[in-house]
Amino acid sequence: MSAGGAASGDRTAAASPPPDLGPPTTFVLLRHGATALTAHGRFSGSGAREDPPLAEAGRAQAAAVATYLRGTPVDTVVSSPLRRCRETAAALGLPYAVEEDLRETDFGTWEGLTFTEARAQDPDAFAAWLAVPGAAPPGGESFADVAVRVAAARDRLLAAHRGRTVLLVSHVTPLKTLLRLALGAPHTALFRMDLAPASLSALAVWGDGNTTVRYLNNTAHLPPG
């Protein structure tokens, strides 16, 4: 072996081990319980005139989540500012903070409509909304807009709670966006995930930024029906 080869081997042997990244930050993602609009599949976002509370079924779902999570180590609970999320968070019996950027999408003039009604009202805008991340409902937010603010909220929470478990109580689009970003998937992945009311998902974020999805749409804790 040449002197150069030996030196190269010595450098490799002496190389420092990778840094200890420590425990990951775990985000447990809880979709709020059902409202009166949920069963009808109506757009219910942050731009609606009304801020609907949990329906009776939603309150039962929130209570079931609270029972299921009892004894689970959770360091912090953070909720969307909208009423259905705050009521779900309150049912857990733990202190919680509010993060504005975890609010649901502003669906503009489609608030309160079903998908079928929105498509009939604005067929071109609806088709663009499904196909293009930057396309928004009339007067509302695009998926790209939502991704920017949700990622910003995630990064703030990572900085404040590194290595801890944070329970996020939010809505279907912000939570799907967090999962999509974790997977590095395109925006169309939003349409290929199902998050039931009061379902639980989880992802882990390591010190180097690597993110893994641990589970998705766990509903085993919910009452039947």
Q: CA–CA separation, 128 vs 124, rounded Å?
A: 6
* 209 secondary structure, DSSP code: S
Q: Which distant-in-sequence residues (6+ apart) come within 8 Å of 62 by Cβ?
A: 32, 33, 54, 87, 88, 91, 92, 198
Does 104 qualify as catalytic in the annotation? Answer: yes
Do residues 85 and 169 lie in contact, with contact meaning Cβ atoms separated by under 8 Å? yes
167 beta partners: 28, 77
> How remote is the C-alpha of 183 from its chain's centroid?
12
Tokens of 202: 């989880």
Q: Are strands 76-79 and 165-170 parallel, antiparallel or unpaired?
A: parallel
Q: CA–CA separation, 141 vs 135, rounded Å?
A: 8
Among residues 40, 99, 100, 104, the one annotated as catalytic is 104
Tokens of 95: 């202190």
Residues labelled as active-site residues: 32, 104
